[in-house]
Amino acid sequence: MTEDQSIAIIATPQDGIYFNMTTGSWVDLDECYNIGGIKEIVHDVDSRQIYFLANRHQGKMGVFLIKFHEQNPKVFSFFLKYKTNLDVSDADIAIYKNKKTNLKELIVSFKTCIENTYNVYIVDISGDEPWPLFRHESF
The predicted-structure confidence for 2-40, as pLDDT tens digits, reads as follows 778 899 999 999 999 999 999 999 999 999 999 999 999
Checking if the pLDDT of 135 tops 90, the result is: no
**Type of residue at 87:** D
Q: What is the pTM of this model?
A: 0.84
Contact, 39 vs 29, CB < 8 A?
A: no
User: Average model confidence (pLDDT) for the chain?
Assistant: 88
Checking if the pLDDT of 128 tops 70, the result is: no
Share of the chain above pLDDT 70, in %: 91
The predicted-structure confidence for 37-83, as pLDDT tens digits, reads as follows 999 999 999 899 999 999 999 999 999 999 999 999 999 999 888 88
Name the burial class of residue 124, with classes exposed (0-12), middle (13-18) and buried (19+) by CB atoms within 10 angstroms of its CB. Answer: middle
Contacts 24+ apart (CB under 8 A), 19-25: 20/71
3-state DSSP assignment of residue 114: coil
